[in-house]
Structure 1
Amino acid sequence: MAALNRILTPLTVGTTQLPNRMVMGAMHTRLETLDRPHERLAAFYAARAEGEIGLILSGGYSPNPEGVMENGGPLFNSATQLDEHRAVTEAVHQAGGRIILQILHAGRYAKVENCVAPSPIKARINTYVPRELTTQEVWRTLEDFVNTAALAIEAGYDGVEIMGSEGYLLNEFTAALTNHREDEFGGSFDARLRLPLEIIRAVRQRIGKGAILIYRISSIDLMEGGMSGTEIANFAGQVESAGADLINTGVGWHESAVPTIGATVPRAVWRESIRNVKRAVSIPVMASNRINTPEIAEALITSGDADLVSMARPLLADPDFAKKVRLGTTDEINTCIACNQACLDRIFTERTATCLVNPRAGREIEFPKGPAPVSKRVAVVGGGPSGMAFAINASERGHRVTLFEADTQLGGQLNLAKAVPGKAEFHEMLRYFRVRLDRLNVTLNLGKTVNADDLLSGDFDEVVIATGVKPRIPDIAGIDHSKVVSYVDVLKGTVEIGSRVAIIGAGGIGFDVAEFLVGDAEESLLAEAFFRAWGVDPESERAGGLSPDNLHTSTARAVCMFQRKAEPLGKRLGKSTGWILKAKLRKAHVQMIPGAHYTAIDDDGLHYSVDGNAKVLPVDHVILCSGQIANRDLFEQLQARGVTPRLIGGADVASELDALRAIDQATRLAVAIV
């Protein structure tokens, strides 16, 4: 393993020395919407401080009511709120950490009727048209930022971050796309920069030089009409002159048609835009977006492209990330797989954030710490996500666990998922599971199919069934035709698929199979392939950093997806990533047919009807992605013998392949067994 010296090196920001170069980036959690919100937030951030992260950036707090993300969203504008914030800062400081309050005005992204913006231009991702701020209101907004900054310092925060990226209010002022004003805050390039620069100066004067002042700049807008790389570098220099101690880099706007943080985005792919900012200033610069391993972080700093790295979702996945780097146990880091299922997808659908690979994230007060009162002998059958998660968590509680898996390798459905382009991060998930199982001395029995007699004779105190799912076979005439194959065979690579394909079923598995058939694996791994596919100019010579759209328009296969429901295909895909997959498949000319009734499969192909109109699609293969059924054979054997084992994962609920639910359920069961 390469040395990780630079990310462990202390760095002075302003007058504060940080113990290392690893930062927890700001992230909305919506924990304030749950019961005991301040206790939850304190425990959440304190866990990351205990994990030795060098600096924590809080989720964004609006400086005034019209700037909140949504009705009831985080707002910090009154001294009456000081105590609730002190609960957080004191918990972090007691754990040895440092925490910054992010001040975020959502601008035209605010999902509130009275949202405001530099100009009355509606965002593509919001139903509300913003009201244009008057000149007087712009000056009042500046004072609101200053007021919140002062309150933050009084509440014990170590500084503030002013959010000027991702298409929020201050970013809207800097871009010609959204700033059509004719007063002193619009028109020329310098006038568009005036508000954020005035805010930085005023905040610096109010909070003094002892507190850290960070400005988050958009290093590349990824929007037509956004700033060019030259303009961004110019702006960065003015941010430094205005009084910022540190520049954090954001990437893209939330409404950009280019993905920026999903697993389909290569790791550290935005380094060129970050380098552009770094070269323009002498103060430290922080890199962000798709940095999820210590090695990537180390490379960014060693190259001189950045001085620190911001990791938000990776600190959901593993709060002890920095501590494990220091201890040299990086193979035990629970790596963020950039799935967005439990964090961003939940936030964008008005739910609270957690993490697929770490269900404790945001739920710290719900899980007991320390060993179970009694150590039990536990058998878990099934080495997929739920079985492995249960085994790890039960072992950490002090139970003696034996895991049985019929296959010769662990992973279950994860071994299928990792074959899909854009899902290579699942290799990291499997690595973490394997390492932890080994370090915890879980007894593994691979390649062994167990029966009820084996378990009953094993003298186990508890038996947990995590045997997963089996593909559901639909009742269609000709379903046993040689053209018909299961998604399992396709993703395992055990069949050679022809050039004309029908996919029956358009849930997550159906879309994964379509991407497997027409996608480009290099696009999520190599920067050049990603930029070419999504039309990005990483050096931002053109305004917004966009180049002509070159997303793939041809494929060797003709693929047609079908579903029974008469609704758009992919409607239930993840909010933050589903659009990416649908865009890629559209450009690959994948047909999508809703409301289909299947009548037969024969030598001529797939016979079906839509709205009563009979059709036939000539195909080489019909791939079944028509759901799953729970594999409960062993469970039923045990029940017949008078034993009722615990049931988790797909063996419990088979609808879709929900690793999020499976791992959460397994983790909660593991800590419940006493």
Structure 2
Amino acid sequence: MFDKNSGSPAYANLLSSITAGRHRLRNRVIMGSMHTRLEAEPDGVARQAAFYAERARGEAAVIVTGGFSPNREGMLDYEGPRLDDAVKALKLRPICDAVHAEGSLICAQLLHAGRYAKIEECVAPSAIRAPINRFSPREMSEEDIRRTIDDFAQAALNAQVAGFDGVEVMGSEGYLINEFAVTHTNKREDGWGGSADNRHRFPVEIVRAVRGRCGPDFLIIYRISAADLVEGGAPVEEIAALARKIEAAGADILNTGIGWHEARVPTIAYPVPRGAWRKAAANVKAAVSIPVVASNRINTPEIAEDILASGDADLVSMARPFLADPHFVRKVREGRADEINTCIACNQACLDFIFSDRPASCLVNPRAGREMEFRDTRSVSPKNVAIVGGGAAGMATAVEAARLGHTVTLFEAKDCLGGQLNLARAVPGKNEFDETLRYYTGQMNKHGVSLRLGQRASLDDLTGYDHVVIATGVTPRIPDLPGIDHPNVVTYAEILTGEREAGQYVAIMGAGGIGHDVAEFLVTPAAKTNEVAAFFQTWGVDGQFRSVGALAGDPLANMPAKRRVVMLQRKTSKPGQGLGVSTGWILRNALRKHGVEILAGVIYERIDDEGLHVTSNGKTRVIAADTIVLCTGQEPERALYEALVVRGIPTSIIGGAAEAAELDALRAINEGHRLAQSL
């Protein structure tokens, strides 16, 4: 949690300036590159200009864009952005101008997707298909390699002419340059493969060509893979050697990337402890004299300051934290660190939106990527607003409405705020929701929201308001099943709140998102000492980042479980099909490691002292369980809404009360913000 009394002196390293190449950076924070898909929108340049300018206004020293391919075969997909056309590149100048007007530098990331490109023309150092791509790459010829090096240099020049201060050359995460550097994907026997020196030729010549084409004033950041997390990845000695060669070739900054996209180790999602990868950056820093950047799961000024003060890195890169709060650095400088809206690493509206061909946004900040859709001007006709429900939807509405000048009273039947967030906070890794609750509580206090905790609002309580917002959420659905009232039956809410304790043998009815979360809660042992060390042990990572690929075992090796758990669902579809694209695999693998059995296509028959009786594959079986957890859906709490409508009181309903579909904080917060904007 943040120290509310802390001002800028508490973050002296974070806020100090630093020289990189011929540029003086105003602080030690880089907004890291991330795909946004804003460029694919009809008004893409204007939306990107608004998006990046807002982060520059928040005082990020350097902003790195999403990846631009240097040529056609390097595109992530057929709609991916490119920088190989000088005329089209000039159309990006409004983005650079908008960022410069707010005092930040901006660099275009140059990213050749290599064998990760989801196009038929994809290429790679060797013809080895990536496990996450259906297309097989063509092995690059000598001519292809030479042409691609020149394409990088020309793309950098195009960026320079368009107004960018520099480029970041993407050499990590398993993309083309990274593929050349390691034996995992480079099986060549010519001058571009074999020895480390040969495998390093491609990235070194790219950096040298960019420097030669763009001159000494152009900022060159090279993103080096500091931990591949795949078999056949680079050992620490090769990473250090490559870092020194890249420095000699003309790079000004070394940014660190962690893990390939095909790696079976989580790198940026909520199960990863904060600052887990800092020692990987420290290994790179020990090898060179130019500034080195630590990245991944750095989401608070405290962890950023600690990394810098310890000497593990010279700068920190934060990408998604600038989605959550574009004014991150500015708030730190102004002594308002407690007002930062913290990234919770859920991936739901950033990566998962990208994977479903939607522009990125943020669960805790719906304005991200939608800056042109929201206003900051106060209401010309402020209203007296009552909000019923202190969960995500209610808190989001209250904060935004009060910020825009409305008088807001929030009723919450319980004696604490949070609603369903209090359930999510109990799930391993999801304690980041603590920060969301901290943020909204602080903002309600700041903007004068009147809280009525422990008061269940009645119709009489709600008379006299100009507008009432019903955000009363959901209750667990209880299925109609013989024995459902058996004493061994509990709801997911009772388990996650600690109201009921599960036994050693558990059956979970329902294998959706809540069912998976409950299973994780029940089988994952708490870290006894060091959270980071426990994470590395669980996922087979060398915590010193010195071994080949930084691996120390099989990431999928079985782990001891606290309980025997069986999860069941009626649907015949793949269990967990609705989980997030970027996080579902982590949760499924974690449960598999802990021996959770999952059955699909079952028919629930009855519950008795023996356990849960089901029919599976035409055969009846008993799931012996001393605890049966109901994760069988939710029912909306909307009785008060219907009564208000009958009485003719202007009323809106949002969140789970409007539609009970899993526990959807993303929808709840977005609806709350937009409703407040429309009042």
TM-score of the two chains, using structure 2 as the length reference = 0.97
Find the residue that maps to 1:424 and give its secondary structure. helix
Q: Is the 8 A contact 2:513 2:579 kept in 1?
A: yes
Within the candidate set 4, 17, 39, 2:11 is matched to 4
Q: Which of 192, 209, 213 is 2:216 aligned to?
A: 209
Partner of 1:515: 520
Percent of aligned pairs sharing the same letter: 55
Q: 1:241 aligns with which of 227, 236, 248?
A: 248
- From 54, 60, 75, the counterpart of 1:53: 60
Correspondences of 1:371-386 after superposition (within 5 Å): 371-386=378-393
8 Å contact kept, 2:227–2:549: yes
**2:435 maps to 1:466:** no
Write the deviation string for residues 356-379 of structure 1: whole angstroms up to 9, x where unpaired: 000000000111221122111111
Contact 1:65 1:75 in 2 (8 A): yes
Aligned to 2:201: 194
Q: Which residue of 2 aligns with 1:497?
A: 502
Q: Within the alignment, does 1:540 sit opposite 2:542 as a pair?
A: no
Question: Match of 1:578, as an amino acid?
Answer: G
Shift of 1:669: 0.8
- 2:595 pairs with one of 570, 589, 592: 589
Match of 1:324 in 2: 331
The equivalences for 1:264-275 within 5 A come to 264-275=271-282
Match of 1:183 among 182, 190, 195: 190
Opposite residue 516 of structure 1, the aligned amino acid is: F
After superposition, give the CA deviation of every residue in 1:413-449 in whole Å (9 maximum; x if it has no partner): 0111111111111111111011111111110000000
Distance 1:522 1:480, change over 3 A: same
Match of residue 610 from structure 2: 604
CA displacement at 1:521 relative to structure 2? 3.5
Residue in structure 2 matched with residue 101 of structure 1 by the alignment: 108
CA distance in 2: counterparts of 1:541 and 1:306, whole angstroms = 17
Is this contact kept in 2: 1:266–1:523, CA < 8 A?
no
Once residues 601 and 311 of structure 2 are traced to their aligned partners in structure 1, the CA distance between those partners, rounded to angstroms, is: 54
Once the two structures are superposed, residues 650-673 of structure 1 have per-residue CA deviations (whole angstroms, 9 ceiling, x without a partner) of 001111111101111111111111
Structure 2 CA distance for aligned equivalents of residues 315 and 175 of structure 1? 32
Residue 448 of structure 1: SS of its match in structure 2? coil
Rounded Cα–Cα distance in structure 2 between residues aligned with 1:524 and 1:413: 29
Give the CA deviation at 1:460: 1.1
Residue number among 638, 654, 658 corresponding to 2:664 in the alignment: 658
- Report the counterpart of residue 283 of structure 1 in structure 2: 290
Counterpart pick for 1:418 among 403, 421, 425: 425
Q: For residues 426-437 of structure 1, what are the structure 2 equivalents within 5 Å?
A: 426-437=433-444
| Deviation (angstroms), 1:177 | 0.7
Q: Out of 563, 570, 580, which is 2:569 matched to?
A: 563
Take 1:473 and 1:35, find their aligned partners in 2: how far apart are those partners? 46
Q: Do 1:14 and 1:245's aligned partners in 2 also have CA atoms closer than 8 Å?
A: yes
Q: Which amino acid aligns with 2:105?
A: R
Q: Deviations over 1:261-294 (max 9, x none)?
A: 1110011111111110000000000110000000
1:16 is matched with 23
Q: SS state of the match for residue 115, structure 2?
A: helix
Decide whether the 8 Å contact of 2:558 with 2:595 is kept in 1.
no
Work out the CA distance in 2 between the residues paired with 1:281 and 1:541. Answer: 17
Question: How many angstroms apart in 2 are the aligned matches of 1:556 and 1:647?
Answer: 41
1:63-462 equivalences under 5 Å are 63-456=70-463, 459-462=464-467
The partner residue of 2:674 within 657, 660, 668 is 668
Separation of aligned partners in 2, 1:487 and 1:322: 39
1:422–1:524 contact (8 Å) kept in structure 2: no
Q: Is the 8 A contact 1:317 1:355 kept in 2?
A: yes
- Displacement of 1:524: 12
Give 1:552 deviation, angstroms.
4.8
1:629 and 2:653 equivalent? no
Name the SS of the counterpart of 2:460 in structure 1: helix
Structure 1 residue matching 2:222: 3-state secondary structure: strand
Per-residue CA shift, 1:639-658, capped at 9, x if unaligned?
22223510110001111111
| Native 8 Å contact 2:467 2:650 kept in 1 | no
Q: Give the 5 Å matches for 1:612-651.
A: 612-651=618-657
CA contact (8 A) 2:279 2:545 kept: no
Deviation at 1:84, TM superposition (A): 2.1
Q: What do the CA deviations read for 1:109-144 (whole angstroms, capped 9, x no partner)?
A: 001111110001011111111111111010000010
Secondary structure of the corresponding residue to residue 257 of structure 2: strand
Q: Aligned partner of 1:235: which letter?
A: L
Partner of 2:560: 554
Equivalent-residue separation in structure 2 for 1:540 and 1:4 (angstroms): 28
Equivalents in 2 of 1:236, 1:557: separation in Å?
A: 46
Give the TM-score, by structure 1 length: 0.98
Provide the secondary structure at the position in 2 that maps to 1:522: coil
Q: Deviations over 1:365-395 (max 9, x none)?
A: 1112211221111111000000000001111
Q: Name the CA distance, whole Å, in 2 between partners of 1:177 and 1:325.
A: 42
Q: Kindly provide the amino acid, as one letter, of the partner of residue 349 in structure 2.
A: A
Counterparts of 2:278 and 2:580, CA distance in 1 = 27
Letter of the 1:179 counterpart: N
2:483 to 467, 470, 478: 478
SS in 2 for 1:517: helix
Asked if 1 retains the 8 angstrom alpha-carbon contact of 2:472 and 2:637, the reply is yes
2 CA distance for matches of 1:524 and 1:169? Answer: 39
3-state DSSP class of the match of 2:42?
coil
Q: Deviations over 1:594-639 (max 9, x none)?
A: 0011010011110110232111111101100000011001111212
3-state SS of 2:297 partner: coil
How far 1:555 sits from its partner (Å)? 1.6
1:179 and 1:330 map into 2 onto residues whose CA distance is 46
Instruction: Tell me the distance in 2 between the aligned counterparts of 1:540 and 1:637.
Output: 61
Deviation at 1:525, TM superposition (A): 6.9
Which consecutive segments of 4 or more residues in structure 1 shift more than 4 A? none
Deviation at 1:554, TM superposition (A): 2.1
Q: Distance in 2 between matches of 1:560 and 1:117?
A: 43
1:266 touches 1:525 (CA, 8 Å); kept in 2? no
Q: Decide whether the 8 Å contact of 1:265 with 1:524 is kept in 2.
A: no
The answer to whether the 8 Å contact 1:523/1:533 transfers is no
Root mean square deviation, CA, Å: 1.2
- In structure 2, what is the Cα distance between the partners aligned to 1:206 and 1:268? 36
Distance 1:99 1:225, change over 3 A: same
